[in-house]
Amino acid sequence: MRVCLIGYWRGGGEEDDDRWPDPRDLIDESWSNQERELVASYFEQGFKPFAFLGFSECRLCGKLNGSAEFTDGVYLWPEGLAHYVREHSVKLPAEVLAHVRRRYDELGPLDANRDWSAEYPDRVFLPEGAVEQFADFERGWDGMETLFVDRDWWPKVTRA
């Protein structure tokens, strides 16, 4: 799958390349807060194909800005792209903004079936990756690994 790389900036040290834009050149203080938040929210999500060992720093304020990349199948962007959009009003090219609007329009309103899990009262359903992130493995007296799942995690993170 071929994707377009976006959200990489000049000023990144050893991999610095004049082909990358300077984020200062894309700042638009007049950009509407509503659209900016919509775009930032979009770039906080996606499929995460790559994660790295070090954190990137914001070229504008120095904040640690993530260590992974996201994709939606069309674009590939660094985890910190939403920070540039939200905190610094870095406005992405019109083609990218149109893509984000189109993806939100395609999604439309959701009508989620919340009754399906009643068929499985003895099972715990966790998002992909949650077991590795939130479960502890311990060796029992019989040498077998025991998985302890935090059953309170999902209710906690979904409370307002």
Under-70 pLDDT residues of the chain: 12-17, 116-160
Confidence at residue 107, expressed as pLDDT on a 0 to 100 scale:
83
Confidence at residue 112, expressed as pLDDT on a 0 to 100 scale:
76
- pTM of the entire predicted model: 0.68
Confidence at residue 121, expressed as pLDDT on a 0 to 100 scale:
64
Strand partners, 5: 76
Confidence at residue 152, expressed as pLDDT on a 0 to 100 scale:
47
Confidence at residue 146, expressed as pLDDT on a 0 to 100 scale:
40
Range 36-41 contact pairs with CB under 8 angstroms and sequence separation of 24 or more:
36/85, 36/86, 36/89, 36/91, 37/86, 38/100, 38/101, 38/104, 39/85, 39/92, 39/97, 39/100, 40/82, 40/83, 40/85, 40/86, 41/82
Confidence at residue 143, expressed as pLDDT on a 0 to 100 scale:
47
